[in-house]
Structure 1
């Protein structure tokens, strides 16, 4: 059953939320002013009663961004997923439609799953040839202050992008599940955050080019092995140059032949949440002209 619905349309030449509905446990906040008055963007904050997603919660909502509109979907803080009760799972489903010459930016804070939590989220986006879409999807290892690191039972996140003819443009699934032979923490080793950023559409082309170049330069510095250290490659204990990077990022393109043009996906693994925030703030700073303020400022 649907727990929320938002429609953004152009009214009087500006992007305006013309329909907003939500019910427990979901609530939307649409402030009158987030960005400078000359910026045409609707900011929507999603919150849940109780400050997080409770075991057994099922949240399903959809958003429609009309032609020529700009919409930002974000959160006030990290999405907390509380402990699972018995076999109950929590789930969150978003379905979004983006019109021509429209932009939807989904830029939440990270998901933080408590010990034993079981959580699944699905985000499905339908785009037109001139639609633009930004997705940030990320998760932390848990509540470090309580000693919880990758201590949840199950996490699954799906992000699917389809054309107006229902042709798949981007299909991605992340699954983290405690195993019989190894735990999530063992598989993740020392990395405490994983993230994915997806950019698609003409309004984000300049950001794509910037991010690709920046990631290339960043990783060439992090993974560079100075001359003279190659012969010592096996001596990882004494060679400071071959220690594990604290931040790893990679880029790949998709959709070369689709009408929407080439999209970009960035994947990140990091030791600290702060380093990911800094990366996102820096790489997405150019969007302040579209969104009014820079994401994650």
Structure 2
């Protein structure tokens, strides 16, 4: 770790086997776990909490001051989970008084030039594509994939195992287990390929398909569809995850493409 061409604040807490390449800057009030690698010209700012075996590529900036005019200098943090890869020129802002932290979970891949803004909560095993821009307070469930150059509106929620196509404007909440595409962003079927890769069996996938047939392919409004789902389908983790997500949606959920045609 002893790299004479890097600047490491004496109060930073860094495990002994962390590799810090030349021209890295590490500020005070930083913690970095074992096995992490930090590439040249990366900047790790005050409040960073970086886990074990993280890879941070050149030019990335972790725990930068929030781009929020309401930020008043409160002491907040930015967490990067174990085994996550942060590619070139990614920026992750630390939290504000709202949540006091920004979180990127474990085993994630955040591709080059992506931005994760203040108070975002990104789950585990997520993929954030090249140049994805996430505004503040966004929540992303485990195993979600946001494809390259998508822009995510503040306070949007993206469910677990959801897939968002490249170049999307994500203005509404995206429920779990589905694919979303087109403009405006719409339901495009369930993410069956991703679900099978992650161990979902046919019965689970068929149940998820039935849930979304009722929600998106019937003439029912969301309230009626949720009541029908809970009446006709037995309780399960997948059913409850979908219904709870929709009931707790603050911005409302995306529509199906067919229902937009009908409108």
Higher strand share: 1
Q: Which has the higher contact order (CA 8 A, sep 6+)?
A: 1
TM-score, normalized by length of structure 1?
A: 0.26
